[in-house]
Chains A and B, each alone.
Chain A
Amino acid sequence: MIRRILDSVYILLFAWTCMLLGAWLIQRLIVTLTMPIRGLLGTLLTSISRVAISALLVLVWLWLWRELVRLSFRRSLRKR
């Protein structure tokens, strides 16, 4: 029973840690990011790049999460 719980706890901890780290990264690094271009174009590019990098980070997180689940599931099936 404990092994079954631990299988999911590892993934839970991974998702939780990534969530906190992601929020910290977005706030500390990505929100402070500015394009070296002045004017409206600069503001627009800065906003687009912030959203794009944040979205990419989230997608990488979700992809890693999915792969971890698949790996863990296959490994557990093999051990059955």
Chain B
Amino acid sequence: MCGAMSLLAFVLGFLACLASLPGLLMRMRVRGMVGPDVHKRNRPAVPEMGGIGILVGLAVSMVIVSVLSGEEAPRLLCLLTVVLATGVVGALDGLRPMNPIVKPALTALAGLPILILGLFYADVYVPRPVLPFIGPTHLTRVYPLMIPVAVAVFANAVNMMDSFNGQMAGTSSIVVLVQLASAVVLGRGSAIVMCTGLLGCLLAFFYFNRYPAKTFAGDVGSLSVGAAIGATAIIGRLEVVTLVAFMPQIMNAFYGLATIGRLYERREVARPTRLLEDGRLEATDDPKAPITLARMVLARGPLPERDIVRVFIALQAISGVLALFTLYLVVAAT
């Protein structure tokens, strides 16, 4: 049953995202919802809110699977509510840029459906994460407080890692794959369905977002994908494994915050990279620019955009291997 539902979630998510995007992109072009691809010499105009396709795919997938599998419905619809709420925050930010404190605060509020549904359904979240070496912990009071924070951290960390063509969809797909493998090992049925649904959407979106991008995810897409990964970690009880698989995103966010010293918006700080005449990207020497992961990668010398994304995907894969090793430690501690 779970296997069939997972496959259905994947196929529905993939097809709905794939089918919705061409029409969406055409409408965005007609309405002028495009932005320049600043990492190309000719700065082509690219539709900016293609992430809506991910929301459409996930909504179709989760609603249909919820209807067909009654008992998983609260958890699946909970995930969908969190993702849609974050998507609304992202869409508002895309249309009118928000203050760097308001945006994380609003994405944290998007995590509230998990807490609210947790009041009615006991197993929407379980405040007993299993840690490596330590085993099950009892964080009955702290865990609920951490849920909105976790959703905000995951959503904004993915958002900060959406700079290059195919970067967000490629790296997030690896995180979701690791979550899926962990859910299979730990036998978490609802998490398997959530992961396959999200993976289907991400792979379809990657087709449009890979180099040279036909669309960007925009804040609506990147915040939603981050929130989906965070919500899956909480609802599917995959907290520690997800955290380790997510290390490149955390590193990228941490480097930026540690060098700037506060929450910031990309538009308000010096650019960490610059485009060269030959189309490659180079790290800037500007001491005021944040040390992002991209700037770290480019510190050794310029690279074409496509190669930068390959480095990111390799790093994410290594992080995924560490996450699977952590899963082994978690299983051993249980």
Contacts and interface: CB of A to CB of B under 8 A. Distances in A.
B300 A79 contact: yes
B56 to A, nearest CB: 34
B134 A80 contact: no
A23 B291 CA distance: 27
Given A4-B311, A12-B315, A77 B134 contact: no
* 4 nearest A-B pairs in the assembled complex, by CB-CB distance: A76-B299, A66-B258, A27-B134, A24-B133
A19 B139 CA distance: 18
Interface of B: 131-134, 244, 247-248, 251, 254-255, 258-259, 283, 285, 291, 293, 295-297, 299-301, 303, 307, 310-311, 314-315, 318-319, 322, 326, 329
Contact of A20 (B258, B285, B329): B329
Contact of B300 (A23, A62, A80): A80
Interface of A: 1, 3-5, 7-9, 11-13, 15-16, 19-20, 23-24, 27, 62, 65-66, 69-70, 72-73, 76-77, 79-80
Contacts of A11: 251
Contacts of A8: 248, 251, 293, 296-297, 311, 315
B297 A4 contact: yes
Nearest to A12: B247
8 contacts: A1-B307, A3-B300, A4-B311, A5-B314, A5-B318, A12-B318, A20-B329, A76-B299
A79 B301 CA distance: 9
A54 B283 CA distance: 36
Given A8-B311, A11-B251, A15-B247, 9 more contacts: A4-B300, A5-B314, A8-B251, A9-B315, A19-B244, A23-B134, A24-B134, A69-B251, A73-B296
Nearest to B258: A66
B255 to A, nearest CB: 6
B258 A27 contact: no
Contacts of B293: 8
Given A7-B300, A80-B299, A27 B311 contact: no
Contacts of B310: 1
Given A23-B131, A23-B134, A80 B319 contact: no
B141 to A, nearest CB: 13
A73 B299 CA distance: 7
Contact of A5 (B315, B322, B329): B315
Nearest to B310: A1
A7 B311 CA distance: 11
Which has the most chain B C-beta neighbours within 10 Å: A8, A12, A13, A77? Answer: A8
Nearest to B131: A23
A7 B291 contact: no
